[in-house]
Chain A
Amino acid sequence: MRVSVTPEIVAAHGLKPDEYAHILRVLNREPNLTELGIFSAMWNEHCSYKSSRVWLRTMPTTGPQVVCGPGENAGVVDIGDGQVAIFKMESHNHPSFIEPYQGAATGVGGIMRDVFTMGARPVANLNALRFGAPDHARTRHLVYGVVAGIGGYGNCIGVPTVGGEVNFDAGYNGNILVNAMCIGIADASKVFYSTASGIGNPVVYVGSKTGRDGIHGASMASAEFDENSEEKRPTVQVGDPFTEKLLLEACLELMAGDAVIAIQDMGAAGLTCSAVEMASKGGLGLLLDLDKVPCREAGMTAYEMMLSESQERMLMVLHPDRTDAARAIFERWELDFAIVGETTDTGRFIIRHQGETVADLPVDVLAEQAPVYQRPWTPTPPAPYLPAKEIPDTDDLGATLARLMGGPHLASRRWIWEQYDHMVMGDTIQRPGGDAAVVRVHNSRKGIAATTDVTPRYCAAAPKEGGKQAIAEAFRNLCAVGAKPLAVTDCLNFGNPERPEIMGQFVGCIEGISEACIALDMPIVSGNVSLYNETSGVAIPPTPAIGAIGLLADVDKMATVAFKQDGDEIFVIGETQGHLGQSLYAREIAGRKDGAPPPVDLAAERRNGDFIRSQIIAGNVAAAHDISDGGLLVAIAEMALAGGLGCMLSLPRNAGPRHGFLFGEDQARYIACVSPQKAQAMIAAAQEKNVPVTRFGSVAGRDIVLDGKLVHSVAGLRSAHENWFPAYMEG
C-alpha cells in the first residue's frame, strides 16, 4: 500500500512515539503500512505483555508436575499413567462487551483451540464472568448474550461447560469480564509445541478462510473504551463452532502421525502472531506468500490478511514428505489446506503479495524486542481492620440469611448452567453447583477437578491478601472434593497500567498469588493479562481470576457439598475468628464497604486442606464444603439446599460475636459432615495434625435450626435462592 506513515497513523495503531522511534532505529528506514500493522499487533499490550512482563517473570512456574509452563499455547501438567492435562484461561472482555454473543462464543472457541493445538482433546470448559450492577441498563442484555454465546459454542462443539463463577458489581458497568478456561487431556508422548525447526519446511494454513474479521481486535483489546467505542463495532468476529469441531478432529487425526513439526493457533492478530512466534521460537526466518492464503472476500490487502482475526484457523510447520497425507486429512474434513510459505535461515519475516515484497522485518525484533516497561506503581493504602463489634448483629437471622442467599452474589446460577450442556461426553462426575467440577479421565478411575476463583472486593481492599485468597480459595475448592491441587492458570484483569495506583494493584495481586502458589504447591502454567479495562477513567476492581485443576486418583472417593442423612455430625474445620471486614454481610446487610479483607494464613490453608482431603480419601467424610463468600451459615445453607435436608446447630461456647461467627469470612475453613460412627476417628486425626475442629451440630429435619430456634426452612430458602436469577432475567 502506498500510504506514507504519519504520526496520526502511528498513534491510531496504538504505538507511542518512542516505540515508533525504536522501530525506525532497528529498521533504519520507515516501515510501510503493512509493516506498521505487524509491529502494532506484535507490540501491543495483548501480545507483548509490555507492562506486565517484568512482574510475570517473578511468578512460580515450575514443579515436578509441570511438563510445560507459560509461553506455549497452554500449560501442560502430568496426571500420571503417561497422560497430561493441558489447560489455560483467557480473557475475551472487550469483544464480549461490544457483541456479547459472538464475543463470548469466540472466546470459548479461542481457548479450546489453544488446548487442542497442543494435541489434547478438550474435556471441560469453565467460565469466570463479571457483570455490572444488576440494575445497570446494559447488564441484563450482556448476561443474556454472553451466556447464550458460551452455551452456543460449547454445546455445538460437544465439550461440556462444567463450572465457573459469576459476579455482579457496579465496577464492571462499563467493562464486563469474560474469562474462558478449557482443559484437555493428551498422551504425554503426543504433546505438540510451537517451535518451528528445519529450513525449507512448508508453512501450512488450515481451517477456515480469512475474511476481514476483527481487524485490529488485539489492538482494540489494549485500548481504553471511550464514549465513541460503539464505532469500533465492525471489528467483532463471528464464530463457527461446527468448523471448529472439524478442525479439532482433523488436527487430532493429523497429530496421531508424525507430520507436525510445530503448530500454533491463529488467535489475536492471527497470521502475524502465529507466524512470528513459531519462527522466533525456532530461531528461524519465515517466508509467507499471501497469494496462497484462502480468502473469503475478494480484494483483501496484505495489511488486512496479516491482521485478520478470522476464527477457526491454524498455522503449522510440517515435514515436507508428509504434506500430501496431511492435505488429504484436511480435505476429507472439508477444511482449507494451503501451503503458504516456508521456513528460512534468514531470521527475517518476509511477506510476498501479488509479486511484491510487502514486508521484510527481523523476526527477533518483532518477537523479543517489544518494549518492556517498568511502570511506576504506588501500593494500595492498607485498609484498617474492621472489628465485628462495629457492625450490628441482625435481629432476624432467617431474613438476613434469605436476603444473602437470594441476592445477586449468592443466588443459584442454575439459570446460567442449565443453558450449558454440562453432561456431554459422559464423564461429568460433579456438575455445576458444587465446590469444584469433576470430570472423569475417560476409561479410567481418575478424575480432574476444576474451579475458577477470585474475590475482587478483597483484591480492591488489599491486593496482596486478595491475590493470596484467590489461590487459597481455588486450593480449598479442589481439596473439598478430595482432589490434590496440581497447577494454576491465571487471567489477570486490571485497569490502565499507566496509572500508578492500578499498577500497584497489579503488583500487589501478583505478589500475593506468587506467595500462595509456592506455599500451596500450585505453580502457574499458563494465563493471560487483560489491561486497560476501564471506561472514561474508571477502572474495574482488580480481578486476577484463577483457574485451577486438581487430580483425584479415584472418582469414587470424591466428596460433594450435599447433606447426606439425618444424624451426620457437622464440624467446622479450621479456626473461626469472626472476621467481617469485606464480608458479604458487612457490605450487603450492614452497608459497610470499608475494612481489611480476611487475612490468609497459608500454612493453615495447607494443613487444613491436606487434612480434609486425606479424610475424604479415607472415607470418613459424608459431605464437605469450603467456607468462603457469605461465611459459615451460608455454607451450611448451601449444603442443606443441595441435600434437601435441614440441621440442628448450636453456637459453640467461645464463638464470640454471633454475626462474626456465622457470617465472618475467615479463610482456611471447611465444613465436614461425618457419620457418628466415624466422628471420633476424624477428631483424633485432626488433633494429631493440629487442625482445629469445632462441632457445630448435626443434620436433621427439613429446617435450619440454631440453638433451638428456627432460622429458616430449607424449602423457603430454596425458593429465595432459585428465584432470583430467573426473575431478574425476565426483568
Chain B
Amino acid sequence: MKARIHITLKKGVLDPQGKAIANALSHLGFDGVEEVRQGKYIEIDLADGDKAQARAKLDAMCAQLLANTVIENYTVELQA
C-alpha cells in the first residue's frame, strides 16, 4: 500500500520560502507570478492490510512527526 502525503502551510500563515521562490521567479523574468505557496510531499510504503487502520496510522504519523499541525495542514492519499 502506498500513501502520498501533502503537507502545506495553513491558509494565512506566512510562507518565507514561497515568497523567496516568487521573488526568484520574477528575477528570472517569469511575469505574472502573483503568489507562491510551497509545501512538502512524502511517499510512504506500508505493508498491505486494513485500509482504515492504515489511514488512522498515517494520521497519527502526520500529527506526531510529519506535519507541524500548529501551522500546517496535511492530506493523505492511499493507493492499494
Contact = CB atoms under 8 A, between A and B. Distances in A.
A241 to B, nearest CB: 8
Contact of B14 (A98, A101, A238): A238
Given A240-B19, A242-B20, A334-B23, A310 B14 contact: yes
Contacts of B68: 99, 101
Contacts of B16: 238-240, 242-243
Interface of B: 10, 12-16, 19-20, 23, 68, 70-71
A311 B10 contact: no
Nearest to A297: B12
A233 interface: yes
Contact of A211 (B12, B20, B70): B12
A297 B14 CA distance: 10
Contacts of B12: 211-213, 234, 296-297
Contacts of A242: 16, 20
Contacts of A243: 16, 19
B20 to A, nearest CB: 7
6 contacts: A102-B70, A208-B14, A211-B12, A211-B14, A234-B70, A296-B12
Nearest to A230: B70
Given A242-B20, A334-B23, A233 B70 contact: yes
A238 B71 contact: yes
Closest 8 CB pairs of A and B: A240-B16, A238-B14, A212-B12, A99-B70, A233-B70, A238-B13, A211-B14, A211-B12
A211 B18 CA distance: 15
B61 to A, nearest CB: 16
Given A213-B14, A237-B14, A296-B14, A102 B71 contact: yes
A98 B13 contact: no
A240 B70 contact: no
Contacts of A101: 68
A237 B19 CA distance: 16
A98 B12 CA distance: 18
A101 B16 CA distance: 15
A486 B34 CA distance: 50
A311 B15 CA distance: 12
A237 B13 CA distance: 7
Interface of A: 98-99, 101-102, 208, 211-213, 233-234, 236-240, 242-243, 296-297, 310-311, 334
A236 B71 contact: yes
Question: Which of B10, B14, B16, B20 has its CB near the most chain A CB atoms (within 10 A)?
Answer: B14
A405 to B, nearest CB: 34
Contacts of B13: 211, 213, 238
A68 B13 CA distance: 37
Given A242-B20, A296-B14, 13 more contacts: A98-B70, A99-B68, A101-B68, A102-B70, A213-B13, A213-B14, A234-B10, A236-B71, A240-B14, A240-B16, A243-B16, A296-B12, A310-B14
Contacts of A213: 12-14
Contacts of A297: 12
Nearest to B17: A240
B74 to A, nearest CB: 15
A270 B13 CA distance: 17
A234 B14 CA distance: 12
Nearest to B11: A297
Contacts of B23: 334
Contacts of A296: 12, 14
A702 B13 CA distance: 55
Nearest to A238: B14
A109 to B, nearest CB: 12
B38 to A, nearest CB: 13
A240 B12 CA distance: 15
A237 B23 CA distance: 22
A614 to B, nearest CB: 50
A234 B69 CA distance: 10
A238 B18 CA distance: 13
A310 B19 CA distance: 15
A258 B21 CA distance: 35
Contacts of A208: 14
A448 B10 CA distance: 43
A701 B47 CA distance: 60
A329 to B, nearest CB: 18
Contacts of A237: 14
Contacts of A233: 70
Contacts of A234: 10, 12, 70
Nearest to B16: A240
A676 to B, nearest CB: 58
B63 to A, nearest CB: 12
B9 to A, nearest CB: 8
A239 B20 CA distance: 14
Nearest to A156: B16
A711 B10 CA distance: 57
Nearest to B68: A99
A76 B49 CA distance: 66
Contacts of B19: 240, 243
A237 B10 CA distance: 12
A98 B68 CA distance: 11
A412 to B, nearest CB: 28
B72 to A, nearest CB: 11
Nearest to B19: A240
A584 to B, nearest CB: 35
Contacts of B20: 242
B70 to A, nearest CB: 5
A104 to B, nearest CB: 13
Nearest to B10: A234
A311 B14 contact: yes
A645 to B, nearest CB: 45
Nearest to B23: A334
Nearest to B9: A238
A334 B27 CA distance: 12
A296 B14 CA distance: 8
A234 B15 CA distance: 14
Contacts of A334: 23
A310 B12 CA distance: 11
Question: Which of B19, B68, B70 has its CB near the most chain A CB atoms (within 10 A)?
Answer: B70
Question: Which of B10, B13, B19, B68 has its CB near the most chain A CB atoms (within 10 A)?
Answer: B13
A6 to B, nearest CB: 26
Nearest to A242: B16
Nearest to A101: B68
